[in-house]
Structure 1
Amino acid sequence: MKNIEALYSQPHESLFKLASKVKTPAIIYDYQGMKDVVRRIQDDLSLVENAKLNIAVKATHTPHLLGLYASWGLGCDVASIGEYHLAKRAGFKEITTTSPAYKKVDMEEFHREGITIDLDSLSQIELYGVKFPGTEIGLRIRIPLPEELESESTFGRDSRFGIDILNHKLPIILERYGLTVTRLHVHTGQMTPESLIYKAQYLLAIAEEFPDVHTIDYGGGLFHFYIDRIKTRRYLTLLNELILKWQSTHKRVLHTRFEPGGALLAGCGYLITSILSKEYQEFFRSEILTVDSSAWNLAPWHKPQVISLDTDAIETEKFLIAGNTLYEGDFFGKDTNGKMMTFELPKSIDVGANLLFTASGAYTMTNSRLFNRIPLPAEYLLKGEELVKIVRGHGSE
C-alpha cells in the first residue's frame, strides 16, 4: 500500500529560533509546508478524472503568496472585483467567481474580462439577464443536507447562500433572458467525505437537466474532509466512479473543482506576539496575558495552539490570552457562543515573553482591522533556515 503522508508537514526547527527574534507582531508562513499541502491535495485529486485544485482568494490577500500558488498550477475563486484584481496580477490562469451579490458595474467588468459568474439568487440572475441576455452563467446551489450530515460546522438548509434549484421561477427567468448554465457551484461549511458524495449525487442530478453544464465546483471547507487522509482518498475514488458512470450514461464530460482556502494555508502560518501584561482577575479565576496583537483585529474565530518561545519550564498553568484593544471580548480562542479557551503555558511565563500561535496562515490578514490602530503583523516567508520579509503589494525582499 502506498505510504500516505499527513496533510500538513512540521516546519523546520529553525522556525522557533527565528520566530523568537522577529519584531512582534508578525506572521511567518512556512514555504515548504505550503508546497507540501498543495502537492498532497493535488495528488489526492488526481484520483478524480478532470479534477483541479484552486484556492479561495478570500483566505489570503498577500500578493506574494497568491503568486506562489499561481506558479504551482492552481486556479482560484474570487468573491469580489477587488479579489479579481489581486488574482489577475498574481498570474492565475483560471479564475472563477461567486458572491452573494454583484453590482451592475462588477457584472460588466467580469463580462468584459470573459469571467463567467456563479450567481447566488433569482434577483441576481434577473439583473444579469437584463444586462447580458443570451450569455453563460453559473449557479451557486443551496443543498439541503440530510440531518445526519449536518453539524455546527455545516450550512445546508440554514445557509443564506445559494439558489433553491426547485424554485419554479428559476427556469422561467433563465428562458426569459436566454441564459445558459455552464457551471454548478456549492459550498456548505465544512465538508466530510460522506457529505461530498451526497453533494455529488445531488449536483449530478441537477446537471442532467442542464445540458451545457461542464463543471461542478464543490467549494472548500476541507478541514473535516481531511481528518483521515486515507478515508479522503477512498471517497475521492468513489466520487470518480460516480462521475464516470454519469459521463457514460449522458455522453458528456464533466470537470471537477475544489477551492479550499483555510485547508491550504491555515496550518502553514504562525502568529508571533509578545506578552505586555500578566494580571490575575478574580472574575475569570485566571491570569490574563495581554499581548501586542489582537484576536478581535485578526482572528475572532481562531482556535490555535500556543507555544512559548522563551521558556520550556516543566511546571505549567492555564492562562487566558487577551488582545490589546479596548474591546471587552478581545480574547484569543473565544468561540461564537462566547466560550473562553484557555492555553497551557509555563507557569513562570512573564511580560516580554514571545508566544507562537499555530493555524494563523489563512484569513488572519484578510479579516484584519485596525481597531485602536494596533499595528498589523509584518509578514515573513520561512524558506529553509531563512526568514524572507514580504513587502505588502510588491512581493518579497
Structure 2
Amino acid sequence: MHLDPVVTPPHRSVFDHMLTVPTPALVYDVDNAMRSVGRMLDDVSLVSGARLNVALKSCHTPAVLRHLADAGLGADCASVRELDLAVSVGFDELSATGPSFSDEGALDRLAERGVVLDATSIDQLELIGRTRSGSDVGLRLRLPIPETLDTANSFGANSRFGVGATDPAVHAVLVRHRLRVTRLHLHTGQLSPHLFLWELRYTLTVAESMSHVELIDFGGGFYDFYADRAVARRALQTADELLAQWRARTGRPMAIRFEPGAAVLGPHGYLVTTVQSIEQAHPAYGAEVVQVDTSAWNYAPWHLPAAVPLDEPERQPKSARLVSGNTLYENDFFGMTGRAGRPLIDMAAVSVGERLVLTNAGAYTMTNRRDFNLLGNLREYLIVDDALRPVDTEMAATR
C-alpha cells in the first residue's frame, strides 16, 4: 500500500503569494495543513474510539482554528481564556489540563461547559475535591518511562506536571472527596510509536484499578510519532488490538485521544522576512550573520527553521550561517530552542533587501509572542483554496 507522507512540500504558488505580503508576516498554508490533517485523521481512525484534537496552546488565531474545528477536531485547553476561544471557534469536544485552573471560578467555567479537568497536581486535585465533592475528575500522570524508551525529547519522571498513579496521597484525596477518575491524561513530549504502545499498556493497567476511567489522552508529540508513517500506522493497529482485548476482558468502554499542536500546524506556517543587514565574518562567531526584520526572541524561541530565499527557493550552494532577529537582545537568533550556543543554519547566500522565509512557524509563534523593544505584532495571512487572505478578511468571511 502506497502511503503519502503526512507532510508534503507546498505548491510553488505558496511562495508566489509570499512575495506579495509586507514583511514581517506569518503565512499559514491552510490548504496543505488540511491535507496533513486528513492523513492524520485517516490513521487515527485505525483505532476504534480514537479521535484527533489540537492543543490550543499551539495556535490562538481563530481564522486558522475554524478550519480545524470544521474538519472535526476537538481542542485541549490550558486556561479559561483558551476555553472561551475554543467555544467561540466552534470545537465540538473540549478537554482541559494545566496549573492555571487554580480557583473555584475557573472550575465553574469548566463545569458550565461540561469539561472534566485533568488535574496536574495533588493540590489542584484537592481544590476540585473541596469545591466539587463527588464529581468526575481526570488525572494527568507522571510516567516512569523505561530508560530504553526515554530520550532528550521526552518527559517522564522528570516532568513538571502530573501525579503518580500509585501515590498514596493521590488516592487519599480521591477517597476523602469521593472523586471519580474518568480520564487519564499523558504528555511526555515527543511520542515515538514504541513509547506510545508502552504508555497504552501502562495506562490500561492503571485503568483496571480505577473502575470509572473511560478515556486516555496521550497528548501530542507527533513529530517523532510520524518519523515513519507506516510504522506509526502499525502501532495504531496494534493499539486497536490491545484496546479490543482490554474491553473484552473488563467489559468496560475505553476511548483514546491524541492532541498534537506543532505537528498539525507547525510545518505549514512561514515567517516571511526581509534581510536588513549582513555581517560577513563576525569576529567572535566565525560565521556570517544575516539579520532580518523580525525577532526569534519575540516569536520563535522554540523553532528549528530552514531558511529559504523567497525568490529562488532552490538556490545553491548552501553553507552554515547565523540568522538573527531585530531586537537588542544578544541571543536573538533563530533556532536557539534553549541552546547555549549560537545555532548555525544551512542556507544559501542572500543580499540586503532580499526576502527570506523561515519555515516551521505555523505553531507556537503567535502564542509565544513577546513585544520586546515594542516592535509590534506580525501580520497574519492564510492561503485557502490557493488564495491569499489576510486574517481579518478570513474572519469576516467565516462569521
Asked whether the 8 Å contact 1:218–1:257 carries over to 2, the reply is: yes
**Deviations, residues 297-327 of structure 1 (Å, cap 9, x unaligned):** 0011211111001356544443211000010
* CA distance 1:392–1:219, shift in 2 (3 Å): farther
Out of 68-77 and 311-320, give the one that drifted further.
Answer: 311-320
Aligned mates of 2:384, 2:394 — CA distance in 1: 19
Cα separation, partners in 2 of 1:316 and 1:203, compared to 1, 3 Å: closer
Q: Deviations over 1:32-66 (max 9, x none)?
A: 21111111111101110110010110010001111
One-letter identity of the residue aligned with 1:97: A
Could you tell me which amino acid in structure 2 is paired with residue 143 of structure 1? L
Name 2:132's counterpart in structure 1: 132
Aligned to 2:340: 338
Q: RMSD in angstroms over aligned alpha carbons?
A: 1.6
**Contact 1:390 1:396 survives alignment (8 Å):** no
CA distance in 1: counterparts of 2:394 and 2:118, whole angstroms: 28
Helix, strand or coil: the match of 1:391? helix
Match of 1:85 in 2: 84
1:175 maps to what in 2? Answer: 175
Question: Offset of 1:178 from its aligned partner?
Answer: 1.1
Q: Per the alignment, in what secondary structure is the counterpart of residue 328 of structure 1?
A: coil
Partner of residue 318, structure 1: 320
Tell me what 1:295 maps to.
296
Cα 1:170–1:392, aligned 2, differ >3 Å: closer, same or farther?
farther
8 A Cα contact 2:79 2:100, kept in partner: no
More displaced, 73-82 or 333-342? 333-342
Q: Return the alpha-carbon distance in structure 1 between the equivalents of residues 393 and 332 of structure 2.
A: 26
* C-alpha distance in 1 between matches for 2:319 and 2:73: 43
Cα shift readout 1:60-117 (whole Å, capped 9, x = no counterpart): 0001111111111111100000100100000011100000342212112212322111
CA contact 1:275–1:350 (8 Å) conserved in 2: yes
**Counterpart for residue 266 of structure 2:** 266
1:337 CA drift (Å) = 2.6
Answer yes or no: is the 8 Å Cα contact 1:63–1:395 preserved in 2. no
**Correspondence 1:59 to 2:58:** yes
**CA distance in structure 2 between the partners assigned to 1:118 and 1:318 by the alignment:** 44
**8 A contact 1:70–1:91 mirrored in 2:** yes
Change (3 A) 1:396 1:59: farther
- Percent identity over the alignment is 39
Give 1:358's aligned residue: 359
CA contact (8 A) 1:316 1:345 kept: yes
Paired residue for 1:166? 166
Question: Per the alignment, do residues 100 and 11 of structure 1 end up closer, same or farther by CA in structure 2, a change over 3 Å counting?
Answer: same
Verify the 8 A CA contact 1:388 1:396 in the aligned structure 2. no
Check the 8 A contact 2:309/2:315 in 1, yes or no: no
Query: Cα distance, 1:341 vs. partner?
Result: 2.3
2:17 and 2:395 map into 1 onto residues whose CA distance is 23
Q: Work out the CA distance in 2 between the residues paired with 1:345 and 1:77.
A: 36
Instruction: Kindly indicate whether the alpha-carbon contact (under 8 Å) linking 1:118 and 1:137 is maintained by their aligned counterparts in 2.
Output: yes
CA deviation map 1:233-284 (0-9, x unaligned): 0011111111111101000110110000001000111110111111232111
Superposition map of 1:13-162 within 5 A? 13-104=12-103, 105-162=105-162
What is residue 218 of structure 2 aligned with on the other side?
A: 218
In structure 2, the partner of 1:304 is 305
Deviates more, 1:262-271 or 1:384-393: 384-393
CA distance in 2, matches of 1:102, 1:46: 31
Provide the residue aligned with 1:195 in structure 2: 195
TM-score (norm 2): 0.96
Gaps of 5+ in 2: none
Q: Match for 1:352: what amino acid? A: G
Contact in 2 for aligned 1:119/1:138 (Cα 8 Å)? yes
**Aligned residue pairs, count:** 395
Contact preservation (8 Å) 1:118, 1:138: yes
Structure 1 residues 198, 18: CA separation in 2 closer, same or farther (over 3 Å shift)? same
Q: Secondary structure at the match of 2:367?
A: coil
Kept after mapping to 2: 8 A contact 1:12/1:384: no
Query: What CA deviation, in whole Å up to 9, does each residue of 1:337-382 have, x standing for no partner?
Result: 32322233333x2111100111110011100111011132211111
Maintained 8 Å contact 1:389/1:396: no
CA separation of 1:10 and 1:60: change in aligned 2, threshold 3 A: same
Q: Give 1:128 deviation, angstroms.
A: 1.0
Cα pair 2:306 2:347 within 8 Å, conserved:
no
Gaps of 5+ in 1: none
Aligned equivalents of 2:370, 2:109: Cα separation in 1: 28
Name the residue aligned to 1:240: 240
Structure 1 pair 173–275 and aligned structure 2 pair: CA distance change class (3 A): same
The alignment status of 1:380 with 2:381, answered yes or no, reads: yes
